[in-house]
């Protein structure tokens, strides 16, 4: 019970411990085997904070005292967008890229995903029609393959 109270106190004072700029991109997740796990918003934040690990650990031990016995801090991105239980940490929002996509409403005359896919398929067919044909399978083949092996790469691989 004492550990959970200390962890809640840590969550509540996280901004004072790490500063507002860092707290906007981090959130303490759990303490397990004397290691504090902290969720970060990106791998870049995880790497930068891992260089400051000892400084943060020293600051935590000054605030908490040495009786808690934290031995390390680990930073991970996996917990940042995970759903949190009620009352356990700050609510995890949706990914910023996904939320911006959800806000976009298709404009009149906008190109749909199906139209883009159809365009890509027709472009691939056009380009493949311009390639020389493999004498074995009659599919489009790159000129270098035909020069080197006398057939396309797919036929070379499938030849016993």
pLDDT of residue 92 exceeding 50, the answer is no
What domains lie within the chain, and their CATH numbers?
2-92 (3.30.300), 113-158 (no CATH)
Does this model's pTM top 0.85? My answer is: no
119: left (phi over 0), alpha (psi -120 to 50) or beta: alpha
How do residues 48-90 score in pLDDT, each as one tens digit? 999 988 988 888 888 776 656 788 899 999 888 775 444 444 4
């Amino acid at each position: 019970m004492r550990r959970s109270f200390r962890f809640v106190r840590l969550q509540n004072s996280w901004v004072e411990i790490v500063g507002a700029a860092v707290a906007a991109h981090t959130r303490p997740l759990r303490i397990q085997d004397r290691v504090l796990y902290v969720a970060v918003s990106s791998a870049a934040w995880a790497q930068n904070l891992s260089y400051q690990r000892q400084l943060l650990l020293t600051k935590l031990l000054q605030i908490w005292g040495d009786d808690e016995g934290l031995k390390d801090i680990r930073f991970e991105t996996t917990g940042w967008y995970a759903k949190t239980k009620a009352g356990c940490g700050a609510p995890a929002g949706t990914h910023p890229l996904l939320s911006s996509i959800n806000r976009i409403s298709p404009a009149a005359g906008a190109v749909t995903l199906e139209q883009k896919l159809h365009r890509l398929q027709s472009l691939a067919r056009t380009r493949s029609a311009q390639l020389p044909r493999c004498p074995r399978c009659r599919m489009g083949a790159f000129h270098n393959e035909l020069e080197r092996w006398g057939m396309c790469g797919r036929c070379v691989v499938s030849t016993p």
